[in-house]
Amino acid sequence: MRGAVVAAAAAAVGNMLQGWDNATIAGALLYMRRDLPALQAHPALQGLVVATSLIGATIVTTFSGPLSDSRGRRPMLIASALLYSLAGLLMLWSPNVPILLLARLVDGFAIGLAVTLVPVYISETAPPDTRGLLNTLPQLTGSTGMFLSYCMVFLITLAPIPNWRLMLGVLLLPALLYLLLTIFFLPESPRWLVSKGRMKEARTVLQMLRGRQDVSAEMALLVEGLTTGRDTAIEEYVVGPTDEAKVTLYGGMSSGLAPGSMFGSAVTLASRQGSMLDHLKDPVVALLDSLHDMNPPAGGTTDVPNLGSMIGVHDRPPIDWDEENSGDDDGDIAAPLLTMEGEAATSTVGIGGGWQLAWKWTEGVAADGTRQSTVKRMYLHEEQAEGVHAAALVSQSALCTKKEAEAEVEGGWREVLEPGGVRHALVCGVAIQILQQFSGISGVLLYTPQILEQAGVGVLLSRLGLRDDSASILISGVATLLMLPSIGVAMRLMDVSGRRSLLLWTIPLLVASLAVLVAASVAPMAAAAHAAVCTGSVVVYLCCFVMGFGPIPNILCAEIFPTRVRGLCIAICSLAFWLADIAVTYTLPVMLASLGLAGLFAIYAAVCCVALVFVALRVPETKGLPLEVIIDFFNVGAKGTLPNLHDDDDHY
């Protein structure tokens, strides 16, 4: 997967520049106040200097998603690199506050494009089993950028008269590097290419990203992702018996899931959990939690052979379909739904995460006597032979007439606003982005030197002969360095423990670290002890944040929306993110001055408690699932209830 790793790493440099900017503005603020008297006299203006970049990010976010849906992900990332370079030049010049505000605005444009689209780009190019790891790269590069920037700022503070313009203007150098990477190492997203009908280009990109020639199964998956499957239902099938020439998919048990199968048992358990929690837990959360918790059957799982693939839009699938059994006996598994002959039947290429893609072709006669045909896609979850059980998410396929397919793709705002899986996912995405920001991370990152300076951190390094401002920046850099191994742990666990589990483990630690900060601020203690406790709490907060609440909201938002409205939905989530970020950043200096550290961090701790409850009830586990399968689960959950299950064995 070297191609996917290189593309993800190149894209993630955009987040490194965001981290670089966060650290440089945090250090430069200490000297801006001395060089620009207006900032010293008006704390709100100081907040505006920081928040202007957030305003710029908010402005560009309102159209970056839809624009990336129409023009592509790659051109928007190249534009981000160009804007970073322009911002670096302006900040290096900055003769006064108005020019500085303009530079920060342009910088915000660049940040908004990168932060909005890098997770989308990585999610659309990464394979399902490493998507979480690769999408944690932006957090790693962002923290690395902060550390390198703090090192640079610390060296500048050792000068007799530190130059804050130089601190900010050095951004130009990594921005030019990012520009070269986006031009030479970023292919266009294959999912975006498929959405525009550019199948040949999409296949070429996929072959490069996956390092293999046969990408037919994934191409078929990408085509199916053009529709959202509003009518998604869970059904169960049996695959087998098989030999070298034939694979047979037997009759669907549509009146209820068979309780003996792994998937059926998962849904049963999810239903019971929902009643125990008084239906507070989202159906999608209950279903996916139970599915991920199920142990593999004894003897392991057997791959369901690939049942064929399609590229393009056709009136009829380019494979041999048998008509669906129309008998009265729903439990009859003796008649096949579809049969394949030849070499294709022996292929075992899936779509990732233990899922296979197949289609169900049905024909009938309408009331007016005309013959009608329907194709439904089936995301099959691999289970155990003999007589392999395959639970399926069944919904309308993209294999329809070209006119119908185009009507589906043009859904846009209508799809977002209508009740269904997309709106269901959007509520989850917007809420977790807002809660992330109100947990206080932007304030802690941007004002870490000032917070540590107020906590008396200079006492810890007084023997080194450093000024208080240099000491606070040095410790901020050390804290950022300690974040890097924490991110490494998160990268290792993101596709193993999962996104939801990391949040449920790390958010309580955020609450605990903030509570210690509050206690240290109100309890009498020696200056050195106070500084040590505050510093330790800030470090624990930052390390735990980058393991969970830092990267996961962006990862989730890049995973839970369908291809055709992903950019639009990401823009809405990012808009919520930036508005909350502006509110936190702009008000933090005033709150710090009026409430002190204790009051400020008590508010953040309360928000983290709310976030913990929200994650437990409303945030599903998405590890290992193909993007197109995730939205179908949301379509099931949007109906408000899980399938009705039967405890009898009538279907066998």
Model confidence at 400: pLDDT above 60: no
Provide the pLDDT confidence category of residue 643 given band limits of 50, 70 and 90: low
Q: What is the mean pLDDT of residues 279-289?
A: 80
Q: Is the model more confident about 279 or about 421?
A: 421
Provide the pLDDT confidence category of residue 39 given band limits of 50, 70 and 90: confident
| Residue-wise burial string across 370-386, b where 16 or more C-beta atoms lie within 10 A, e elsewhere | eeeeebbbbbbbbbbbe
Whole-angstrom distance, CA of residue 543 vs CA of residue 502: 13
* Token code pair at residue 94: 């900055």
If one counts every other C-beta atom within 10 angstroms of the C-beta of residue 10, the result is: 22
* Token code pair at residue 116: 């909005």
Label residue 196 exposed, middle or buried (CB < 10 Å: 0-12, 13-18, 19+). middle
The pLDDT of residue 637: 82
Tokens 């998962």, located at residue: 266
CA 601, chain centre distance (Å): 27
Class of domain 1-186: mainly alpha
The pLDDT of residue 587: 79
The pLDDT of residue 586: 72
Percent of the chain with pLDDT over 90: 33
For the chain, give every domain's residue range.
Answer: 1-186, 234-241+350-364+372-395, 416-639
Output DSSP code: residue 360: E
Cβ contact 324:360 at 8 Å? yes
Q: Give the SS3 label for residue 249.
A: strand
The pLDDT of residue 398: 75
3-state SS, one letter per residue, for 367-380 = CCCCEEEEEEEEEE
Q: What is the mean pLDDT of residues 491-510?
A: 94
The pLDDT of residue 595: 84
Terminal Cα distance for the chain, rounded: 42
Helix (H) or strand (E) holding 388: strand 388-396
Whole-angstrom distance, CA of residue 296 vs CA of residue 504: 24
Whole-angstrom distance, CA of residue 314 vs CA of residue 590: 62
Model confidence at 18: pLDDT above 50: yes
Whole-angstrom distance, CA of residue 591 vs CA of residue 97: 23
Provide the pLDDT confidence category of residue 388 given band limits of 50, 70 and 90: low
* Token code pair at residue 535: 């510093």
Q: Is the model more confident about 34 or about 90?
A: 90
Q: Is the model more confident about 299 or about 472?
A: 472
The per-residue pLDDT for range 311-356, each reduced to its tens digit, is 333 333 333 323 333 333 343 433 444 444 433 333 334 677 778 7
Q: Is the model more confident about 309 or about 123?
A: 123
The edge-to-edge listing of strands for the beta sheet with 355-365 is 336-341, 246-250, 233-239, 388-396, 371-382, 355-365
The per-residue pLDDT for range 404-430, each reduced to its tens digit, is 444 444 456 777 777 788 899 999 999
Question: How far lies 340's CA from each of 306, 308, 376, in Å?
Answer: 10, 8, 17
Helix (H) or strand (E) holding 340: strand 336-341
Residue at 247: amino acid letter: V
Average pLDDT over the chain reads 77
* Token code pair at residue 608: 């983290």
Cβ contact 471:75 at 8 Å? no
Q: Is the model more confident about 43 or about 503?
A: 503
Output DSSP code: residue 305: P
Label residue 239 exposed, middle or buried (CB < 10 Å: 0-12, 13-18, 19+). buried
The pLDDT of residue 270: 53
Q: Give the SS3 label for residue 390.
A: strand
The pLDDT of residue 452: 66
The pLDDT of residue 318: 38
Where is mean pLDDT largest: 43-57, 101-115, 262-276, 554-568? 101-115
Number of H helices, E strands in the chain: 25, 6
The pLDDT of residue 599: 86
Whole-angstrom distance, CA of residue 4 vs CA of residue 10: 10
Provide the pLDDT confidence category of residue 596 given band limits of 50, 70 and 90: confident
- Angle CA 275–281–282, to nearest 5: 115
Handedness of CA 532, 537, 540, 546 (dihedral sign): negative
396, β-bridge pairs? 376
Q: Give the SS3 label for residue 354.
A: coil
Percent of the chain with pLDDT over 70: 72
Q: Which residues have a Cβ under 8 Å from the Cβ of 27 and sit 6 or more positions away? A: 149, 150, 153, 154, 157, 167, 449, 473, 476
Q: What is the mean pLDDT of residues 263-280?
A: 55
- Ordered DSSP codes for 396-433: E-S-S-HHHHHHHHT-THHHHHSSSHHHHHHHHHHHHH
Whole-angstrom distance, CA of residue 189 vs CA of residue 570: 15
Whole-angstrom distance, CA of residue 440 vs CA of residue 583: 10
Question: 416-639 adopts what CATH topology?
Answer: Growth Hormone; Chain: A; (1.20.1250)
Model confidence at 9: pLDDT above 60: yes
